[in-house]
């Protein structure tokens, strides 16, 4: 008999400890290890030293761009060699692709930060004064101090033109996307071809189209409304293409379930397809708005330029932020250039707000309930539960009353029998 066959009380402590299984250890999948970090740092340091020797001392080259490009190529080569000394060939290729992807992402972030920093530095002189957001350029000349004038009229013009363009482009774009993805037929292909052609349409052509048709032919004056029509021509194909892709991602089983329950095609699209694709549709709308908010040439041709505040987009000229930037950034006066960069910073803030809004609203997965919907369902469930308890209590009361009546009837019958006897 071995120690494993004996009861636990008779087995000595050393034998029990030896027979106990080792503790489980959590296995970490993915992540960054110390060897990965040291390999990257070693490749960066070695490639920088080798690049300095070759680029500055041996080869007849100069310039910061060439130095950085040569450093990056030497870094990839050194990282591949160092990885080959400690990993297999497949793992080396995987780590190399990861390093290239990370470096490309960091490069994009660095370029964005550089552009934002440069614009903020050039426009801070004008943006730090409150008058830039509360005054127009009506009483400001080129030699006026930086504390005079602002971009209020351009901000108002951009918001009104973008709002009208969104009001026109979003219903048309989503309707076209629903037609191409849900209705189809012989006209779906020509509509899709036209939308694809409009996607690559130059903005100046859209401005010329509205100028020739609306202003010259129909006799309308240059205004914010005409500019919004030009922006609509630019935004509608973006919204249509993005909305079509999102609607096609809705599972077909949802449509089949709606049809099986007796729903028509219109009810299926309105109550099933569009609510399911709502986050993606919001993203498509915001992408279209971001496409139209930075256009300059259509606004210049259709609304003109003015230094006065015009809150009525249907009458007289109206300026926007891109046109404000284009008009003042090419002047030789430093204060005007500072105002232009401050307006560019304001425009970037508007675009950032649009994309953050799309991220917040479109972050919800299709079919996921919102907080309001969950609260409404919880209230309905609590109401149904309380109603069920109330009905159960009433049913119990009725049962007790019925039992009392039965007992009373039985007592009466017993008394009558006794009297007969």
Tokens of 93: 């290729």
Q: Does pLDDT of 61 surpass 80?
A: no
Question: Who wins on pLDDT, 17 or 89?
Answer: 89
- Please tell me the predicted confidence (pLDDT) of residue 81: 92
Please answer whether residues 264 and 380 qualify as being in contact, where contact means their C-beta atoms are separated by less than 8 angstroms. Answer: no
Look over the chain and give the mean of its residue pLDDT values, rounded to a whole number: 83
Which of these three, 127, 149, 182, is where a domain ends?
Answer: 127
Q: How confident is the model at residue 14 (pLDDT cuts 50, 70, 90)?
A: low
Please answer whether residues 131 and 147 qualify as being in contact, where contact means their C-beta atoms are separated by less than 8 angstroms. Answer: yes
Same domain as 199, residue 57: no
15-24, 234-243, 297-306: least confident range:
15-24
**Locate tokens 């004056």: which residue?**
221
Please answer whether residues 75 and 52 qualify as being in contact, where contact means their C-beta atoms are separated by less than 8 angstroms. Answer: no
Same domain as 170, residue 207: yes
Give the Cα separation of 361 and 55 in Å (integer): 50
Domain annotation covers residue 3:
no
Domain annotation covers residue 151:
yes
Same domain as 193, residue 60: no
pLDDT, one tens digit per residue, over 116-175 is 999 999 999 888 888 899 899 988 888 888 888 889 999 999 999 999 999 999 999 999
Domain annotation covers residue 405:
no
Domain annotation covers residue 230:
yes
Please give the residue range of the domain that contains residue 326.
134-372
Tokens of 208: 């010329």
Domain annotation covers residue 399:
no
Give the Cα separation of 129 and 125 in Å (integer): 8
- Please tell me the predicted confidence (pLDDT) of residue 3: 47
Please answer whether residues 86 and 92 qualify as being in contact, where contact means their C-beta atoms are separated by less than 8 angstroms. Answer: no
Average pLDDT over residues 10-25: 59
Same domain as 265, residue 150: yes
Same domain as 141, residue 104: no
Please answer whether residues 370 and 364 qualify as being in contact, where contact means their C-beta atoms are separated by less than 8 angstroms. Answer: yes
Q: How many CA atoms lie within 13 A of 206 on its CB side?
A: 26
Same domain as 310, residue 203: yes
- Please tell me the predicted confidence (pLDDT) of residue 140: 86
Number of domains the chain is built from: 2
Same domain as 123, residue 139: no
Which of these three, 127, 146, 175, is where a domain ends?
Answer: 127
Same domain as 235, residue 293: yes
Q: How confident is the model at residue 337 (pLDDT cuts 50, 70, 90)?
A: very high
pLDDT, one tens digit per residue, over 82-121 is 999 888 889 899 899 999 999 999 999 999 999 999 999 9
Domain annotation covers residue 410:
no
Q: Does pLDDT of 204 surpass 60?
A: yes
Q: How far apart are the first and last CA of the chain?
A: 85
Rg for the chain, CA atoms, rounded: 36
Tokens of 215: 């202003």
Q: How confident is the model at residue 372 (pLDDT cuts 50, 70, 90)?
A: confident
Which of these three, 372, 389, 409, is where a domain ends?
Answer: 372
Same domain as 73, residue 40: yes
Domain annotation covers residue 378:
no
Same domain as 289, residue 154: yes
Average pLDDT over residues 177-199: 87
CATH number at 202 reads 1.10.3720.10
pLDDT, one tens digit per residue, over 252-271 is 888 888 888 888 888 888 88
pLDDT, one tens digit per residue, over 378-416 is 888 888 888 788 887 777 665 555 555 555 555 554 444
User: pTM value?
Assistant: 0.72
Q: Does pLDDT of 283 surpass 60?
A: yes
pLDDT, one tens digit per residue, over 212-258 is 999 999 988 999 999 999 999 999 999 999 999 999 888 888 888 88
- Please tell me the predicted confidence (pLDDT) of residue 397: 60
Same domain as 74, residue 151: no
Average pLDDT over residues 295-301: 89
- Please tell me the predicted confidence (pLDDT) of residue 4: 47
Domain annotation covers residue 25:
no
Same domain as 350, residue 206: yes
């Amino acid at each position: 008999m071995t120690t494993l066959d004996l009861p636990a009380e008779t087995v000595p402590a050393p034998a029990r400890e030896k027979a106990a299984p080792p503790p489980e250890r959590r296995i970490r999948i993915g992540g960054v290890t110390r060897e990965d970090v040291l390999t990257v740092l070693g490749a960066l340091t070695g490639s920088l030293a080798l690049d300095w020797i070759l680029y500055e001392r041996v080869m007849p080259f100069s310039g910061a761009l060439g130095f950085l490009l040569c450093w990056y190529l030497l870094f990839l080569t050194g990282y591949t060699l160092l990885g080959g000394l400690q990993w297999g060939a497949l793992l080396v290729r995987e780590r190399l692709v990861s390093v290239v992807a990370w470096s490309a992402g960091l490069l994009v972030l660095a370029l964005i930060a550089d552009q934002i920093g440069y614009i903020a530095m050039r426009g801070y002189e004008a943006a730090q004064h409150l008058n830039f957001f509360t005054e127009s350029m009506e009483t400001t000349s080129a030699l006026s101090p930086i504390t005079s004038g602002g971009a209020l009229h351009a901000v108002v013009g951009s918001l009104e033109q973008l709002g009208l363009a969104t009001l026109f482009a979003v219903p048309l774009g989503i309707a076209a996307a629903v037609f191409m993805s849900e209705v189809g037929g012989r006209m779906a292909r020509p509509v899709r071809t036209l939308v694809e052609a409009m996607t690559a349409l130059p903005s100046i052509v859209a401005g010329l189209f509205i100028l020739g048709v609306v202003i010259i032919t129909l006799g309308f004056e240059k205004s914010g409304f005409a500019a919004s029509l030009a922006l609509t021509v630019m935004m509608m194909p973006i919204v249509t293409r993005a909305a079509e892709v999102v609607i096609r991602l809705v599972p077909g089983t949802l449509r089949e379930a709606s049809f099986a329950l007796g729903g028509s095609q219109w009810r299926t699209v309105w109550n099933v397809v569009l609510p399911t694709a709502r986050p993606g549709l919001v993203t498509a709308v915001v992408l279209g708005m971001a496409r139209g908010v930075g256009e300059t040439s259509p606004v210049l041709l259709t609304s003109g330029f003015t230094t006065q505040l015009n809150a009525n987009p249907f009458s007289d000229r109206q300026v926007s932020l891109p046109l404000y930037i284009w008009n003042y950034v090419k002047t030789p006066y430093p204060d005007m250039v500072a105002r232009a960069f401050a307006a560019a910073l304001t425009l970037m803030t508007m675009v950032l707000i649009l994309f953050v809004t799309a991220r917040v609203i479109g972050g919800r997965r299709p079919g996921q309930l919102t907080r309001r919907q969950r609260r409404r369902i919880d209230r309905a469930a609590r109401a149904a539960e309380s109603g069920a308890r109330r009905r159960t209590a009433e049913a119990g009361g009725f049962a007790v009353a019925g039992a009392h009546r039965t007992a009373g009837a039985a007592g009466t019958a017993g008394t009558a029998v006794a009297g007969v006897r």
